[in-house]
């Protein structure tokens, strides 16, 4: 097969649509492997940055981008007409939720429309964007076939769920096993061949729907278990039990238990969204995903619980939230990254401001945020900022924060991440989630 030989000989030209947390690392890995890669994105700032050899993704170094660009292996453009020149096209665009809670496939549809207009025989098209089971077969395939070419015969189509974990230095694009499911055997074979050139372990499955369901199971597993441990945290608070000590002790069991940890809520583009895609699809089939909805309700209640903890802690010091100076530490959805998508920290800040608090924040990765109709700029984490705050709320446990300084300087700390565990604090100064 000509396309397989092109892939094996590194002569296949690869197009990546969407140059975010998934697309850019993938593009750089293909370029490192010797492929000629073109990144496509409607964001001209991203295109410009890549052309200059600069990375805007923490997990991808500017050195790697610059080397790939200078070596002629990586280019970027917003000109979708160049998709016609590609042998393989990987779609890595966002799949958010609408305000109604329904899946928003608009970015996928725009990308597929762009591919369809330039589709040619022998092209391989792979969707990586997380979505509900059936999307590849029911949405992508019919749209691509509108031009007359038939999937599985004239061109090849597969789904391969992204498994990116931003900020994780141990498991990267190259080392995370890649699940691949095509609409037929030859599509699966070609997609596996392509990814096998840059990823150590390939896991072929029998269909696109199985591959789509794999990603939803992974993130539903996480969402449900986070919801469970968040509820355990709520129960423990009612009974005046240290939930962190409970988890630490339970984790000593060498079988039958996997520790998950509570927090101010869930965020990012996956855990809080992907299970809702699955629940939506199931509802169309007459089934209510009760675990998913319950976990989602609990996880979404956590920002309000954090605000309640702040109010209780201030109350004990004869202060109200209204008029208090509150310093939030961390606004990204997880430690070590600057991604604020769906971050519960933003909701906590908005709730505190709604109760009359004067809120500032520190985050080494996020220079500014928009809360409501107000733009806040990050402050430096200094002794003055800490000592003049009535309460410091740790919402994201970035490794750059000096937690000893925080505990020793701030008059009151509400720690939602157990970040101060290794620091000895004066009695009553630190309140844990």
270 tagged catalytic: yes
| Neighbour-count burial of 330, counting CB atoms closer than 10 A to its CB (0-12 exposed, 13-18 middle, 19+ buried) | buried
Which residues, including other chains, have CB under 8 Å from residue 416's CB and lie 6 or more apart? 262, 263, 264, 306, 309, 393, 394, 395, 433
Residue 183, CA distances (Å) to 95, 194, 204, 245, 281 in order = 21, 16, 12, 48, 20
- Would strands 202-204 and 13-17 be described as parallel, antiparallel, or unpaired? unpaired
In this structure, is the dihedral angle defined by the CA atoms of residues 137, 292, 105 and 20, taken in order, positive or negative? negative
Residues 111, 233, 270, 327: which is the catalytic one? 270
Q: For residue 11, which of 128, 122, 120 has the smallest C-alpha distance?
A: 122
Asked if 269 contacts 165 with a C-beta cutoff of 8 angstroms, the reply is no
Residue 427, CA distances (Å) to 236, 384, 405, 412 in order = 20, 22, 16, 11
Gap between the Cα atoms of 139 and 113, Å rounded: 11
CB 28: neighbour CB atoms within 10 A? 27
How many residues would you count in the chain? 433
In this structure, is the dihedral angle defined by the CA atoms of residues 203, 205, 211 and 216, taken in order, positive or negative? negative
The catalytic site residues sit at 270
């Amino acid at each position: 097969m000509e396309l397989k030989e092109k892939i094996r000989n590194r002569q296949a030209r690869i197009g990546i649509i969407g140059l975010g947390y998934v697309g850019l690392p993938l593009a750089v890995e293909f370029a490192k492997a010797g492929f000629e890669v073109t990144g496509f994105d409607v964001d001209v700032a991203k295109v410009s940055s890549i052309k200059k050899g600069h990375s805007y993704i923490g997990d991808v170094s500017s050195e790697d981008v610059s080397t790939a660009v200078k070596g002629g292996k990586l280019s970027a453009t917003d000109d979708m007409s160049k998709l016609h020149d590609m042998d393989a096209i990987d779609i890595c665009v966002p799949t958010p939720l609408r305000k109604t809670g329904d899946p928003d496939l608009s970015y996928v549809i725009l990308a597929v429309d762009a591919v369809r207009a330039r589709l040619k025989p022998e092209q391989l098209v792979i969707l990586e964007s997380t979505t509900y089971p059936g999307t590849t077969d029911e949405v992508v395939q019919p749209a691509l076939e509108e031009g007359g070419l038939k999937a599985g015969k004239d061109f090849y189509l597969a789904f391969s769920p992204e498994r990116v974990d931003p900020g994780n230095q141990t498991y990267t694009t190259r080392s995370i096993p890649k699940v691949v499911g095509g609409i037929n055997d030859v599509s699966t074979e070609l997609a596996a061949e392509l990814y096998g050139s840059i990823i150590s372990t390939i896991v072929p499955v029998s269909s696109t729907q199985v591959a789509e369901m794999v990603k939803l199971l992974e993130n539903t597993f996480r969402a449900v278990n986070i919801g469970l441990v968040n509820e355990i945290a709520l129960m423990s608070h009612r009974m005046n039990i240290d939930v962190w000590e409970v988890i630490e002790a339970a984790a000593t069991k060498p079988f039958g238990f996997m520790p998950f940890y509570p927090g101010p809520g869930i965020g990012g583009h996956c855990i809080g969204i992907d299970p809702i895609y699955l629940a939506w699809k199931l509802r169309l089939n007459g089934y209510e995903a009760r675990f998913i909805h319950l976990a989602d309700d609990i996880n979404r209640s956590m920002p309000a619980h954090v605000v309640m903890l702040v109010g209780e802690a201030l109350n004990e010091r004869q202060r109200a939230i209204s008029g208090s100076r509150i310093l939030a530490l961390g606004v990204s959805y997880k430690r070590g990254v600057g991604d604020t998508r769906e971050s519960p920290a933003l909701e906590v800040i908005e709730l505190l401001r709604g109760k009359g608090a004067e809120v500032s924040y520190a985050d080494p990765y996020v220079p500014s945020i928009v809360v409501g109709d107000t733009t806040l700029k990050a402050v430096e984490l200094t002794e003055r900022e800490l000592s003049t705050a009535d309460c410091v709320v740790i919402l994201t446990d970035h490794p750059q924060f000096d937690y000893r300084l925080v505990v020793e300087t701030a008059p009151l700390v509400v720690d939602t991440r157990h970040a101060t565990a290794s620091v000895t604090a004066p009695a009553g100064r630190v309140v844990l989630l």
